[in-house]
């Protein structure tokens, strides 16, 4: 396995992997917006503007086996703490192709993203884990955090 940093030419692969994650959650095709792929591409490009964005591909036997992306966490509130005390990175879209799962690829991609964010000066890293991914992230040193959520019934 080889983990390589991505460039803009890899964005279509990263976007397709991000959408594949939503597919794996059982998201019905009718729930996607018509321009879902373009929205992911635009988001990746927007993330590049912070100068911290990172993306990685896992290559196994010449085949793309997975990917991960990271950027600065976009806070939903005013950040009043100095960046040398609190600069949070965010890891998103850790994807492993089904044929390559349970072989350490997700762990290697996540470790690459963590190191990228550490070198960029981040003081912590946040990610949202699927139920399947949670044990791996905990084994890597991530802790469960206290996000609270309330879902509303959909018509």
Give per-residue pLDDT as tens, 84-133: 999 999 999 999 999 999 999 999 999 999 999 999 999 999 999 988 89
Domains of the chain with bracketed CATH = 2-139 (3.40.630.30)
What pLDDT does residue 75 have? 87
Q: Is 1 a residue whose pLDDT tops 80?
A: yes
Query: Distance from first CA to last CA of the chain, Å, rounded?
Result: 45
| Nearest one of 24, 15, 31, 13 to 130, comparing CA atoms | 24
Q: Is 146 a residue whose pLDDT tops 90?
A: no
Question: 């992230």: which residue's tokens?
Answer: 137
Q: Is 80 a residue whose pLDDT tops 90?
A: yes
């Amino acid at each position: 396995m080889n983990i390589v940093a991505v460039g803009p030419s890899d964005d279509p692969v990263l976007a397709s992997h991000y959408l594949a994650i939503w597919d794996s959650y059982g998201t019905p095709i009718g729930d996607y917006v018509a321009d879902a792929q373009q929205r992911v591409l635009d988001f990746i490009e927007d993330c590049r503007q912070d100068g911290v964005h990172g993306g990685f591909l896992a290559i196994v036997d010449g085949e793309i086996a997975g990917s991960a992306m990271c950027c600065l966490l976009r806070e939903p509130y005013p950040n009043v703490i100095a960046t040398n005390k609190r600069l949070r990175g965010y890891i998103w879209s850790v994807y492993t192709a089904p044929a390559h799962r349970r072989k350490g690829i997700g762990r290697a991609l996540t470790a690459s993203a963590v190191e990228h964010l550490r070198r960029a000066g981040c003081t912590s890293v946040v990610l949202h884990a699927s139920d399947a991914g949670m044990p791996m992230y905990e084994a890597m040193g991530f802790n469960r955090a206290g996000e609270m959520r309330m879902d509303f019934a959909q018509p």
